[in-house]
Structure 1
Amino acid sequence: ELFRVSARLAPLLAALDSVPGENSESDREIHEYAELIAPFKKNDVLELSIKAEEHVLEARMRVDMGVVRMLAAKVPVGPELSPPTDLTEVAGTLRLRAGEDFQLTFRSESEVTTTIDGQDRIDRSTNSLTYDFRVVKVNADGTMQIATALSHASFDKITPEGREAYDSSNPPEADRLTAETMLYGLVIGEPFYLSVRPDGTIAAISGLAEAIERVLDTKAQPPASERERVHAYIAQLLNEASLRDSLTRGFEFYPGHKVSAGDRWSRTSENLTVMNFLLDSRYQAKTLSGDGVTISIRSQVREPNPADVANQPIQWEFVGSQTGMITIDPHSGRLRRGEFTLRLDAEATFEMDGNMVSRPIVNVTKVTVGDPQQVAQKVAGEAVGGSSSSADWVELAGDMSRSRWRASQQDAWLIDGGEIISRGGNYERWSYVEYTDRSFADFEITADVLYAPECNGGICLRATSGGLDGVNPSGYEIQLLGVDTDRNPTGSIYKMSPNGPVSGVYSARPRLVQPNEWFSIRVVAQGPQLTVYINGERVAAYDDQSEPIRSGHVILQGSPEGMIRYKDVRIRPL
């Protein structure tokens, strides 16, 4: 419970300090605490170390200062802030009521690497599908009839041939619609029906044929000569196998009997994608409380089956595994949020031009599923093309004379018209300019950058000036390199531990930008995870599980080899 402090800080501190909360001593201690935290800004992060001598209780807590001010202002702590009720048992079934409405968003990020003649082909895609559900009927045996319709669809595909993006809430002009994007718009809102058992397994999907005919007759209305072809396209989207496979992630994880914390159970399910296989999944109930039930998932792939693609038989040989964690409502069993990562290492063998050909394939898919708002919060700052209110952003560029910027060499830096410019030359090694006004913990930062050839600069995050060796900052550095190299090009991530060596170098994709050309860079830092995007394309990610650096300043690095220009530098706390 010490880590569940976002809404329970006041009673927690009162309990640890033996403060009754309604006398002069309480007022005095709260007043002293208010003075202690006064220098902090709203989005600063305070780290507390607490040790209770009798119980040898230790904890480190990261607390948003806006929450701490709740204590300083003596806001009454209502019943809604009381700790969640511990549960000893939950039903372990899905228990919905007739007439109940809900939504689930299924968001997946996939990266497929295929080796062809020694060269890696990389295909990346981000897909998001939101479904509306209404419980039509609950039978005596607990089986539920649920009406379902796709309400929103988006995707972003990046391949060696180019990029294609679509969002049903903001579709392109008619002359820019492809067959796929046009059909997404047509099937939105078309209902079909699920028959779902109490253990979450989908017993049947019905109404798809009728939905396809409605789309053909009332929306697509193709000429007779095209009807069969358009029918086939629509059937690809309203396809029972793919719908069953994707929707299963939102339902199928219940044992069908009462569950206590620590209980384990297993299930075998079928993946119905091109690489057809079975998943042996093991589940364990981790925590049970009135706040939610968390369940861990570990799966192994078994029994790969051959599949036909483009009328060519493909024989798959692969190994794979899946890990995940889900949170469900303890009363209804409805999914709140789930996160899954599936990795497959495969080899596809098929016939091409009369010869048998083998292709190594690595497929990594990350899926977030749950309430649309929770999914959006989870992936905020990660979705390509995501937008945020401008009011959330802090513009960092300003007059160099202001105290919030401090340069290691004043004559090496200039701020002019919204640009922060490293002049280059006339100094040894690197120079730095530090935004000293405040520290940042979890955030999204964006900038437009242009650098000269041979430059070696960087954007240092959660940084401390001189923390590495007395001269160079500690923190995480995002590399900016004007050298044509595949070794740690622009976008790579370095970890520079305080008073320690540079470590944890995570290379980006091969060079995507050229010197003397403007490009956009975006970094999302949440907890131990950092993700880097260049021109909207994800190029590097780092999950620091070894003493992650939690907060610090933004420091820009200059290079003696030439000028580096930073424009529209802004940051948004998360």
Structure 2
Amino acid sequence: MKHLKLVILACLFLSGYTFMTSCKSGSNTDAIDLKLNFKAGDKYLYTTQIDQTIGIMQGLTMNQNMVMDMVYNCKSDNAGVKSIEATYNHILISMTSPMGEMKYDSKDPKQDVMGMNIMDSLIGKSFVMDIAPDGQIIKVSGLDAIVASFNMVNNPAAQQNIKNQLNDTAIRMMMQSSFDMYPGHKVKVGDTWNKKQQMTVSGINIGMENTYSLKSVENGKATLSVTSDLSLPKTEMGADSVKTQMELNGKQEGTIELDIATGQVISSKTISDIKGKMTMQNAPEDINIKSTISVSSKKQ
């Protein structure tokens, strides 16, 4: 069940990373209005890949690779508020650790690695987000049907855990961390703006202080840079018998290339380095998490 919880959490982070958009056309000297600019009927396939190395416990290392394909379908545009249907299309997760290897691929229905084929229940399922031009997520709907599709009536604790991971607040916070990048005013090349975010997932408090900069506007594309300070204040997790305490801090930087006319993310890449302490049974261990997150998309 711990593995399932980690996978669901990873999927939420992945889905949150699949959508960072913008703007109207202009030259390097024109001010542009960065905002969500999908049109009703637009549909895009976004692919997000996370390559992660986790170092912990006296030099032990775990490598993770996670890929998620999601389809974003703009169902309507109501005075600038976009109704976006997000559909899980494909999930691939592989892990390598001193305990061995594990791989899950939603395209392979024959496999059942550590019971993780329960994730098949996500494929083809959708939820809907109403998103304001400034990136604020106004409403999330359709999550109850996704939770019910897991059909774990014989394991109410597991069902409740899934419900906690896939509720309105969790999805809203996760997606907000990707959408909340717009300055709220027109900007020119060289301008910077700051965004602070705070989200809580499974009791873990994640603080992000982001600085964005418009680097260039050329050939219908806009390029942004982003640098972030990440912090996870000291937090206790788990049952009393296996209580774990974590405290982490880190940095992140990257670039985002956008299609100016539509706001489509053509590509993005961010690299993060997070360090801190994980304490189990009063035994602290250093932990280091290095991640590379890449996003690409195409119109369908």
**TM-score computed with the length of structure 2 as normaliser:** 0.80
Following TM superposition, by how much is the alpha carbon of 1:264 offset from its aligned partner in structure 2, in angstroms? Answer: 0.6
Query: 2-side partners of 1:240 and 1:109: how far apart?
Result: 27
Look up the match of 1:319: 249
1:146 lines up with 2:146 in the alignment: no
Query: Which has more radius of gyration?
Result: 1
Query: 2-side partners of 1:233 and 1:126: how far apart?
Result: 23
Following TM superposition, by how much is the alpha carbon of 1:304 offset from its aligned partner in structure 2, in angstroms? Answer: 1.8
Query: 2-side partners of 1:314 and 1:206: how far apart?
Result: 33
| Structure 1 unmatched ranges of 5 or more | 1-83, 374-574
Matches within 5 A, 1:31-70: none
Query: 2-side partners of 1:316 and 1:86: how far apart?
Result: 46
Following TM superposition, by how much is the alpha carbon of 1:328 offset from its aligned partner in structure 2, in angstroms? Answer: 1.2
Look up the match of 1:335: 265
Amino acid at match of 2:73: R
Following TM superposition, by how much is the alpha carbon of 1:204 offset from its aligned partner in structure 2, in angstroms? Answer: 3.6
2:206 to 269, 274, 277: 277
Q: Is 2:165–2:201's contact at 8 Å kept on the other side of the alignment?
A: no
Query: 2-side partners of 1:167 and 1:372: how far apart?
Result: 21
1:361 lines up with 2:297 in the alignment: no
Look up the match of 1:430: none
For the aligned residue pairs, the C-alpha RMSD in angstroms reads: 2.7
1:206 to 141, 149, 157: 141
Look up the match of 2:221: 292
Query: 1-side partners of 2:114 and 2:122: how far apart?
Result: 15
Q: Is 1:94–1:199's contact at 8 Å kept on the other side of the alignment?
A: yes
Matches within 5 A, 1:10-159: 86-87=27-28, 88-115=30-57, 119-140=58-79, 142-159=80-97
What SS does the corresponding residue of 1:235 show, helix, strand or coil? helix
Q: Deviations over 1:420-474 (max 9, x none)?
A: xxxxxxxxxxxxxxxxxxxxxxxxxxxxxxxxxxxxxxxxxxxxxxxxxxxxxxx
Give the direction of change, closer, same or farther, for the CA distance of 1:338–1:271 in structure 2 (3 Å limit): farther
Following TM superposition, by how much is the alpha carbon of 1:130 offset from its aligned partner in structure 2, in angstroms? Answer: 1.1
What SS does the corresponding residue of 2:233 show, helix, strand or coil? coil
Look up the match of 2:188: 260
Question: Of Structure 1 and Structure 2, which has the larger fraction of its residues in strand?
Answer: 2
Following TM superposition, by how much is the alpha carbon of 1:263 offset from its aligned partner in structure 2, in angstroms? Answer: 0.8
What SS does the corresponding residue of 1:148 show, helix, strand or coil? strand
Query: 2-side partners of 1:203 and 1:262: how far apart?
Result: 30
Amino acid at match of 1:161: M
Query: 1-side partners of 2:288 and 2:56: how far apart?
Result: 7
Give the direction of change, closer, same or farther, for the CA distance of 1:317–1:211 in structure 2 (3 Å limit): closer
Following TM superposition, by how much is the alpha carbon of 1:261 offset from its aligned partner in structure 2, in angstroms? Answer: 0.5
Q: Is 1:104–1:250's contact at 8 Å kept on the other side of the alignment?
A: no
Query: 2-side partners of 1:156 and 1:242: how far apart?
Result: 24
Query: 1-side partners of 2:183 and 2:273: how far apart?
Result: 25
Q: Is 1:121–1:160's contact at 8 Å kept on the other side of the alignment?
A: yes
Give the direction of change, closer, same or farther, for the CA distance of 1:290–1:256 in structure 2 (3 Å limit): farther
Amino acid at match of 2:189: A
Look up the match of 2:19: none
Give the direction of change, closer, same or farther, for the CA distance of 1:93–1:279 in structure 2 (3 Å limit): same
Q: Is 1:85–1:290's contact at 8 Å kept on the other side of the alignment?
A: no
**TM-score computed with the length of structure 1 as normaliser:** 0.44
2:277 to 328, 331, 347: 347
Query: 1-side partners of 2:272 and 2:257: how far apart?
Result: 18
Look up the match of 1:37: none
Q: Deviations over 1:161-180 (max 9, x none)?
A: 1101122123334xx34322
Give the direction of change, closer, same or farther, for the CA distance of 1:337–1:242 in structure 2 (3 Å limit): farther
| Structure 2 unmatched ranges of 5 or more | 1-24
Q: Is 1:130–1:372's contact at 8 Å kept on the other side of the alignment?
A: no
Look up the match of 1:186: 121
Look up the match of 2:9: none
1:172 to 90, 110, 130: 110
Following TM superposition, by how much is the alpha carbon of 1:364 offset from its aligned partner in structure 2, in angstroms? Answer: 0.8
Question: How many residues end up aligned between the 2 structures?
Answer: 272
Q: Deviations over 1:71-92 (max 9, x none)?
A: xxxxxxxxxxxxx973423221
Query: 1-side partners of 2:94 and 2:171: how far apart?
Result: 20
Following TM superposition, by how much is the alpha carbon of 1:333 offset from its aligned partner in structure 2, in angstroms? Answer: 2.1
Look up the match of 1:389: none
2:230 to 293, 297, 301: 301
Query: 1-side partners of 2:141 and 2:218: how far apart?
Result: 36
What SS does the corresponding residue of 1:193 show, helix, strand or coil? strand
Q: Is 2:86–2:126's contact at 8 Å kept on the other side of the alignment?
A: yes
What SS does the corresponding residue of 2:287 show, helix, strand or coil? strand
Query: 2-side partners of 1:244 and 1:104: how far apart?
Result: 18
Following TM superposition, by how much is the alpha carbon of 1:211 offset from its aligned partner in structure 2, in angstroms? Answer: 2.2
Q: Is 2:55–2:287's contact at 8 Å kept on the other side of the alignment?
A: yes
248-257 vs 263-272, greater mean Cα deviation: 248-257
What SS does the corresponding residue of 1:257 show, helix, strand or coil? coil
Q: Is 1:109–1:127's contact at 8 Å kept on the other side of the alignment?
A: yes
Following TM superposition, by how much is the alpha carbon of 1:227 offset from its aligned partner in structure 2, in angstroms? Answer: 4.9
Give the direction of change, closer, same or farther, for the CA distance of 1:272–1:212 in structure 2 (3 Å limit): same
Look up the match of 1:370: 296
Higher relative contact order by CA 8 Å / sep ≥ 6: 1 or 2?
2
Give the direction of change, closer, same or farther, for the CA distance of 1:328–1:247 in structure 2 (3 Å limit): same
Matches within 5 A, 1:384-533: none
Query: 2-side partners of 1:347 and 1:227: how far apart?
Result: 33
Look up the match of 2:13: none
Following TM superposition, by how much is the alpha carbon of 1:137 offset from its aligned partner in structure 2, in angstroms? Answer: 2.5
Q: Is 1:250–1:370's contact at 8 Å kept on the other side of the alignment?
A: no
